[in-house]
Chains A and B, each alone.
Chain A
Amino acid sequence: MKILVGVKRVVDYNVRVQVKPDGSGVALDGVKMSVNPFDEIAVEEALRLREAGKATEVVVVSIGPVAAQEQLRTALAMGADRAILVESAEACQSLTVARVFAKLVEKEQAGLVILGKQAIDDDAGQTPQMLAALLGCAQASYASKVEINGNSMRVTQEVDAGLQTIDVDLPAVISADLRLNEPRYVKLPDIMKAKKKPMDTLSLADLGVEPAAALKVVKTEAPAARGGGRKVASAEELVKELKNKGLL
């Protein structure tokens, strides 16, 4: 079985993003870019399934600018077999990305797709569910445990009430949550090896994908700042303050 894994190039999770003063977006010049953390977990899970003999090939896919090759190389260094960059200078939103993956699933005859549950830039959290809808297959979202048994899969999902377990038939789309695994560290020799692994570049047109209707971002602004607080000297003072505010 072949597994497709999504790898999105996003602002590194340690960066505190700044909104541009003219409201046209966030400042990205010179900002560190990384693999979306949830996608790194998705890659790791796919590698573990291959290492356990449940999959034969792990293909990592990014949809974005040429620079996303860097993130695909990281995924190849982790151990993915090959990469596909679907190049688009314009940022693609969830439904378009889902259409691209749907085409690639068909083209590659993939049996499983693992995506991060959300990207930490737009925080939309939609692509896995949309892809499953387009494929007419099962979705197992917010996965914290995955077991493949023949043609079906048992997945534990992190839901608001706790942990929910479902069985889904393959092919299926999994979205990876934080506690699914801890991604491996990449070693220097693996980075060298990754440079020789195959990477194809395609366009939306090559795949016959029309960009879907999208959300037009008309303004970006910083959130309302919380008024600066102060420190109190003792537990007594804290309790007094909270009682004055009617909170205790």
Chain B
Amino acid sequence: MSKVLIIGEQTGGVLGQAVGRVVACAKELKASEVVVALFGAGDLASAADAAAALDGVTRVVTVDNPANDHPLAALVAPQVVALAQQGGYSHILGSNSSFGKDTLPRVAALLGVPQVTDIMLVLGERSFKRPTYAGNAIVTVEVAGDGVVCGTVRSASYPAVGNGDKAPVEAVSLDVALPSHTRYISQETSKSDRPDLQSAPKVVSGGRGVGSAENFKVIFSFADKIGAAVGASRAAVDAGFVPNEMQVGQTGKIIAPGLYVAVGISGAIQHLAGIKDAGTIVAINKDEEAPIFEVADLGLVGDLFQLLPELEKLV
């Protein structure tokens, strides 16, 4: 039977939206134990409660340490290894967030085992499907050896579990020497009241066709009207129209909203890799030959600056 340790994420006591998705993946392993570990400094109670309520979680452990105030991979990884060794886990999972992708390979290397990136389906305790080549080739992999299986879970492949029986929460202190070679300095986050791009049921994204940062207001305005999060193509981010955290695609965020509206986005394979699991894809583009129309369920050819205000009035 599998025994799964999940590296949970929380910010200021709020549980990360991806934790419930990782738990959904852990349930596919038919695990006898699913333990969520949370790392922070001082304010872990509410995140721990939220994690303990998730269906399938059997225990939550909190690691309260001033060094975890802004969790960094180099500091969290040795703590995860200590937990894993104490608990005798068969699997260590995290999400495919920037933190998960930064931390899991470090954990795997400390344990001397390979790591599975972007698990999209569990076929067995050591057998998984994952995407390669920007999602254009799906490989089935088997983890060789008999070491711990380390992996990141592709959030877009798993809807989050709901709430179930409340699991116990345990505070643990770990006797691990933490390195001093890595120090947090600051974080810059754009303030937004809009829905979170990675979990929103509707997303409107703009691309190079939007033309400028100023013009992006037509995207924001339409998104606000329908209650959608806002994303962007790499071209729009590279051109400085919007900040990096809005990038959707192979190397940005991979999302699975019910509705995805791509505006002025031509549809490079790297962008399509980020939206393959969207429910309905709508493309609005003035170039009727744009590759985005090959994947769009509904396409509308025309000038976005005329069509978006028109759509806004109609909805």
* Interface assignment of B139: CB less than 8 Å from any CB of chain A: yes
Q: Report whether B181 and A213 are in contact in the complex, using a CB–CB cutoff of 8 Å.
A: no
Q: Report whether A165 and B300 are in contact in the complex, using a CB–CB cutoff of 8 Å.
A: no
* Interface assignment of A50: CB less than 8 Å from any CB of chain B: no
**Interface residue total, chain B, C-beta cutoff 8 A:** 91
Known: A161-B189, A226-B295, A245-B280. A239 touches B311 (CB 8 A): yes
Would you mind naming 27 contact pairs between A and B with Cβ atoms under 8 Å apart?
Answer: A19-B137, A26-B133, A94-B114, A125-B105, A128-B105, A130-B105, A132-B106, A134-B109, A139-B74, A141-B102, A142-B102, A157-B98, A158-B244, A158-B245, A162-B243, A177-B251, A216-B143, A221-B138, A222-B137, A223-B137, A223-B276, A229-B297, A230-B298, A241-B298, A242-B280, A247-B279, A248-B315
Interface-facing stretch out of B38-46, B115-123, B158-166, B205-213 = B115-123
**A67 partner residues in chain B, CB cutoff 8 A:** none
**B300 partner residues in chain A, CB cutoff 8 A:** 231-232, 234-235, 238
**A132 partner residues in chain B, CB cutoff 8 A:** 74, 106
Q: Report whether B234 and A235 are in contact in the complex, using a CB–CB cutoff of 8 Å.
A: no
* Interface assignment of A217: CB less than 8 Å from any CB of chain B: yes
Contact indicator per residue, chain A 157-172, by CB within 8 Å of chain B (1) or not (0) = 1111111111111001
* Interface assignment of A179: CB less than 8 Å from any CB of chain B: yes
Q: Report whether B183 and A231 are in contact in the complex, using a CB–CB cutoff of 8 Å.
A: no
* Interface assignment of B282: CB less than 8 Å from any CB of chain A: yes
Residues of chain B having any CB pair with chain A under 8 Å: 11, 70, 72-74, 77, 97-99, 101-110, 112-118, 127, 131-145, 147, 179-190, 198, 202, 226, 234, 237-238, 243-245, 250-251, 253, 258-259, 269-270, 276, 279-282, 288, 293-301, 307, 310-311, 314-315
Known: A126-B105, A218-B142, A238-B298. A160 touches B238 (CB 8 A): no
A161–B246 Cα distance when bound, in Å, is 9
Q: Report whether A166 and B114 are in contact in the complex, using a CB–CB cutoff of 8 Å.
A: no
* Interface assignment of A190: CB less than 8 Å from any CB of chain B: no
